[in-house]
Amino acid sequence: MIKRQAVEALDKSLRDIMDRSELPFGGKTVVFGGDFKQVLPVVQKGSRAQIVDASLRRSYLWDWMRHLKLVRNMRAQSDPWFADYLLRIGGGTKEVNGDGDVRLPDDICVPYTGDGKNLDRLIECIFPKLNENMASKDYITSRAILSTRNERVDMINMKMISSFQGDEMVYHSFDSAIDDPHNYYPSEFLNTLTPNGLPPHMLKLKIGCPIILLRNIDPTNRLCNGTRLVV
């Protein structure tokens, strides 16, 4: 999925370094690897809308699949049906409806009833017996709820943190705009922003709740961006 310009830049750099402009990559052997099922489809003579639609469908599907697998698909090792199901979706052999969408089996879905308790059922399904297992780091760090929008993430986080036992600590950010002499961006407005890679303005934490390290602060101890930790 690397951009074409990055490969071309590497090609030109190696040709220059090796002083062999007539050979691809300066004569060096370059191996491309990855999951070719994730390569976006080519729409022959398609309109811009058709190309974007096909790309989004494929990327959304594989983003969902990639999150399911994380680093290693632990479920696929012990569940041959699930492994085969993933392969059938990835290979395009899974049956679809008239809109080209795949219907997930009911036994791997949490039903939506619209009665206002759907989030509670989802949390109970992903984090069963939370307070009995909150002291287990493996229990906390081996599961997660994914969402498509940041505002839903914040809402789910608040719901989850309230489910943990113990006292709650609240931390507030200090937001200010650089070079804003007319105060076009007051702190009250900046406090409402939730950009990617930054915690919310009001951060609520409890002992035992999982957090994600946003900035690399100690690489020698394997603390890198995205590391899951427990308070």
Concatenated DSSP letters of 196-223 = TTS--SEEEE-TT-EEE--S--BGGGTB
Q: Does 46 map to a domain?
A: no
Instruction: For the chain, list residues with pLDDT below 70.
Output: 1, 35-42, 48-76
**CB of 4 closer than 8 Å to CB of 39:** no
pLDDT for the residue 143: 83
pLDDT for the residue 39: 65
Cβ-based neighbour number of residue 140 at 10 Å:
21
Q: In terms of Cα–Cα distance, which of 43, 24, 82, 36 is closest to 62?
A: 36
> Which range of residues forms the domain containing residue 192?
118-231
pLDDT for the residue 228: 82
- Rg over alpha carbons for the chain, rounded to the nearest Å, is 23
pLDDT for the residue 11: 94
pLDDT for the residue 73: 61
pLDDT for the residue 49: 67
Q: Does 157 map to a domain?
A: yes
Query: How many structural domains comprise the chain?
Result: 1
The single residue listed with the structure tokens 């804003």 is 180
Q: Does 135 map to a domain?
A: yes
Q: Does 155 map to a domain?
A: yes
- List, as own/partner pairs, every contact residues 194-198 make where C-beta atoms lie below 8 angstroms and the sequence separation is at least 24, other chains included: 194/150, 194/151, 194/154, 196/150
pLDDT for the residue 172: 93
Q: Does 20 map to a domain?
A: no
Q: 201 CB contacts (<8 Å, ≥6 apart)? A: 172, 173, 175, 191, 192, 194
Q: Does 87 map to a domain?
A: no
Per-residue pLDDT tens digits for 6-29: 899 999 999 999 999 999 999 999
pLDDT for the residue 59: 46
What is the b/e burial string over 15-35, where b = at least 16 CB atoms within 10 angstroms of the residue's CB? beeeeeeeeebbeeeeeeeee
Q: Does 52 map to a domain?
A: no
**CB of 164 closer than 8 Å to CB of 131:** yes
Per-residue pLDDT tens digits for 187-208: 999 998 887 778 888 889 998 8
Treating both helix axes as pointing N-terminal to C-terminal, what angle do 80-90 and 48-69 enclose, rounded to 10 degrees?
160
